[in-house]
Amino acid sequence: MKQGQNKNIVLIGFMGTGKTTISAALEKMCGMEVIDMDREIELRENRKISEIFASDGEEYFRSLETGLLREIAESGNRIISCGGGTPLREENVVWMRKNGEVFLLSASPQTIFERVKDSDSRPILEGHKSAEFIAELLEERRAKYEAAADTVIVTDGKSAEEICQEIISKRKG
Ligand code: S3P
């Protein structure tokens, strides 16, 4: 990170916790550039995440995430919106924390279900779109999410603006 630069704001959290929405709102508020990891991977691979999972599998996708985070790790002053599974690999957490302050967006399984139920862009949820499945997977992942986070932001019932203000006020780096 260059002198005078602030740390990256890294947003993690389960699918449907608002990472993409909040990163776009933060971009407007702070004028920082956003890197949306899912979007960036799709652009580079020139195919949808569901196609990457179907043709090359989850591990291959996770390796793309690791490669991208390693590249970004040297920079600062950016908002990095991670994929929902990015913090599951320990190596990814090391890279995202190198120049980044990590904010975990949390939401209840019911809120997440309402946000993802009409989308078909998440291979992990295909065929099991229910609040019960989401609750189980969230529980399985919880320890890893919390270990990666510097700060947890509860998003249920809050507007994008409120969530952004909370992130900005809790920022240390
Ligand atoms: C995933 C979440 C997705 C995407 C991929 C895998 C996961 O990102 O990276 O489908 O394992 O939770 P979003 O959280 O942006 O939906």
pLDDT for res 162 = 97
Record the pTM.
Answer: 0.96
Beta-strand ranges (E) seen in 18-73 are 33-36
Ligand 1 atom closest to Cα of 65? 9
151-154 β-sheet, strand order: 33-36, 78-81, 8-12, 100-106, 151-154
Segment 89-147, tens digit of pLDDT: 999 999 999 999 999 999 999 999 999 999 988 999 999 999 999 999 999 999 999 99
Q: Is the Cβ–Cβ distance between 113 and 131 less than 8 Å?
A: yes
- 102 by DSSP, 3-state: which? strand
What token pair was written down for 103?
């904010």
Q: Does 115 sit in the ligand 1 pocket, CB within 6 Å?
A: no
What residue's CA is closest to ligand 1, atom 2? 84
pLDDT for res 1 = 61
CA of 3 to the centre of ligand 1 (A): 33
